[in-house]
Chain A
Amino acid sequence: MQGWLQALYEYQGMIQTLTCIDLANASMYDGATATSEAVRMALSLTGRDTVYLSRGLHPRYREVVTTLLTPTSA
């Protein structure tokens, strides 16, 4: 258990070093869902409801972000 957790801790540290960003977590499902989680975080933090997606964003990532962040009827 400790060995596995230590491996995750070191992975987090390596991502922090590679990207020069303060904090990395112990991973998400994949890059596209991580992108939609990041956008959701930004929406929650700013309290806004508008997102600008760059034209340089991978088209499949754009589809996943749109799918996950479009509210279903409720």
Chain B
Amino acid sequence: MSAQAHAKGALAVQAVTDPTSLGFLKPPGELGVDILAAEGQSLGNPLAFGGPHLGILACRAEFVRHMPGRLVGLGKTTKDARGTC
């Protein structure tokens, strides 16, 4: 399906409601998916009476400036120690 989308110049977005299924299904990156959204509750979060859980968003590296939310990266401090920010 992503091949069909790319042939038309469109992007392929996949929504995964249970990411534990990715343990035996082919990974979305290998299927040519450009942007992935998933619900992370089944990865070990409590049900919380239907409240919000964990929204997963992933995309190709070239789309990094279009991605909403926070991106945590790894860098070096002035003392050459490892730091996240």
Contact = CB atoms under 8 A, between A and B. Distances in A.
Q: Do A and B bind each other?
A: yes
Per DSSP, chain A at the interface is: helix
Contacts of A5: 72, 84-85
Contact of A23 (B16, B54, B58): B58
Interface residues of A, number: 40
Given A6-B84, A42-B13, A21 B70 contact: no
A45 B40 CA distance: 25
Per DSSP, chain B at the interface is: mixed
Contacts of A44: 66
A41 B56 contact: no
21 contacts: A2-B84, A5-B72, A21-B36, A22-B58, A22-B60, A25-B58, A25-B69, A25-B70, A26-B72, A27-B40, A27-B56, A27-B69, A28-B37, A29-B52, A30-B53, A31-B39, A32-B39, A39-B13, A41-B35, A41-B63, A58-B17
